[in-house]
Amino acid sequence: FQLLVLSALTAIAVARPQEEIPKPGIIPVISRDEIHDDFGQYALSYLSGDGTSLREQGALKLNAEGNGHVLVKKGSITYYAPDGTPITLEYIADENGFQPKGAHLPTPPPLPVPEA
């Protein structure tokens, strides 16, 4: 899981305009908070020197069959597009898969309204 978070933060950092990345290319982590408990629940947040931030909470939920658990994650990532526009991606990941939301994501065209 830590590798996934690190990969996401690295990808987000690369998307930041090059002229704003501190030299020699290392972006410092300004703050990092993590809380874990014995029941599989956690909360974490990161803020990097280029303004990239990540917040996530996770908890185990009983699966539909009642014989196991599903890790449910909710969170958001904010980074800056090459033109300096802030981009925020909110998401939920659960038994229904990864469900992202963000103004920058493409949306399908509206479905036609059936005629009566």
- Which are the contacts of 78, defined by CB distance < 8 A and separation ≥ 6? 51, 52, 53, 54, 86, 87, 88, 89
Q: How confident is the model over 32-88, as pLDDT tens digits?
A: 999 999 988 999 999 999 999 999 999 999 888 889 889 999 999 999 998 989 999
* CA distances, 65 to each of 11, 43, 98 (Å): 36, 26, 20
Q: How many helices (H) and strands (E) does the chain have?
A: 1, 6
Report pLDDT for 21: 45
Q: What is the pLDDT confidence band of residue 101, given thresholds at 50, 70 and 90?
A: very high
Q: What DSSP state is assigned to residue 65? A: T
What's the predicted TM-score (pTM) here?
Answer: 0.66
Mean pLDDT of all residues belonging to the chain: 83
